[in-house]
Structure 1
Amino acid sequence: MPTRRTPLAVTPARVRTVAAGSAALLALTACSSSAESDGAGSEVSGTVTVFAAASLKESFTELGERFEERYPGTQVTFSFGGSDSLAASITGGAPADVFAAAGPSTMAVVRDADATAGAPVTFVRNQLQIATLPGNPDRITSLKDLTRPGLKVVLCDKEVPCGSAAQKALDSGGVKLTPVSYEQDVKGALMKVQLKEADAALVYRTDVKAAGDKVQGVSFPESAEAINDYPIAVLKDARNAEAARAFITLVRSAEGRRVLTEAGFLQP
């Protein structure tokens, strides 16, 4: 007759062993899933250098701090400025891992130089506002108001994305404007208003929001015709490609989107 196998006794000790094994397996699976969702695993370490448009300064600085908390032992260093000058630095050989531009045309300079690793992706959009002194003492309500005699207006340089967007908005409204100065980036244009060296400036709404009560923003309909897409990419000569990919993953994650949306950016 076939031998009958005696059922294995399930003791409390065995239950604990099985439970512990299951918990360990679940923990391992969770860690693996987390690493996959971050786009990187334990290899993320060292310094990641990010070149980013000046308008990203506040939100990227916060994301950099979150990145360092998520990956102990890492460090994020930033170079903020006009997208055109950053692109020129990259194509000139400046060491960087990530480039985030305020417009596709500037990113195209880097891509056409074969300096990106893969196709750039758009992660946010931005829209212009008129920045005025607090309380809007000149009662500026439209683009045409910026042409009033004696009113000092500042624009970004035409070569940088905020400058080209401003020109597009002015053309859309049929407004001809001669500024008192052209600034190299959006922060420079905004600073002219904050220092009361200008009465108004065409800047991004994110920069108006970041300035708090130091300026006041005025929306205008023509800005809808000049919304800028912001692309981001890992650079081909990145010294820390793994960390670069992980940083971009954070920027594009739900957490990253919350930080950027709170700063006033629009989702693509």
Structure 2
Amino acid sequence: MRIHAGVRSDVGGYRDVNQDAAFASPFAAAVADGVGGGPSGDLASAAIIHKLITLRGALPSAAELIERLKAANWDIGAHIRRDAALAGMASTLTGVWLTAGEELVVAHTGDSRAYLLRDGGFVRQTRDDSFVQALVDRGLVRPEDAWTHPRRNVITASFGGNDEDVVRVETRDVRAGDRWFLCSDGVTDYLPEDALAEVLRGETDPVRAAHAVVELALEAASRDNVTAVVCDVVGDQPDATVVPVIAGAAASRWTEVIEAGLASA
């Protein structure tokens, strides 16, 4: 199996810097979002993506990914140790990886999200690490009100270069025909899930689907950076030599891989 993905990241109309970063390859895809209000969130998100794109081929095991994520988090800590002005920078991460055993691994920390479109059903696959999600879990906020809550951007977990930082890593079954959708909160804070589902069911090409989601979020006046990755699981053999597509802060900071205008892996 392989992933055929479309990637789009836009700084949006209200920000000067794109702190989102994303990548897609035939084996994996991920979105990272530099934590708002922190210094150099774009560096944090780009550092994570840069570490992850060096893993080529199917993932040997979930344990290998955990080690790679620890190394990415260590890199953030190393930047902070070299420059005290960067203290507080951090990033979310949500990504999917195909394994050699034809399973799929989901990694998540923060409030970027992953959804699965399978057999017409569109189901969220990650739980936000956020203040508002904690209120929902306690029954203090209705789930349908969470996406408009004024404190929806307060997160409770991220990669900040600390030993105690936590990421969830889960193994899932995978089928040809699955469509995984990854995005930053610049999408989900401004678009309801039924609107996302309509786009992802209606547009068969993953590149056009990613662009359509971003354009819809911009039309909804998203006040954040906006990033979408649409990943179609295909039943044929991947080409391990394909260069990963990168976008957002990762493309700005790491010029060895160039973001395409219409990006596809």
TM-score scaled to structure 2, two decimals? 0.25
Q: Which has the higher helix share?
A: 1
The structure with higher relative contact order (CA 8 Å, sep 6+) is 2
Q: Which has the higher strand share?
A: 2
TM-score scaled to structure 1, two decimals? 0.25
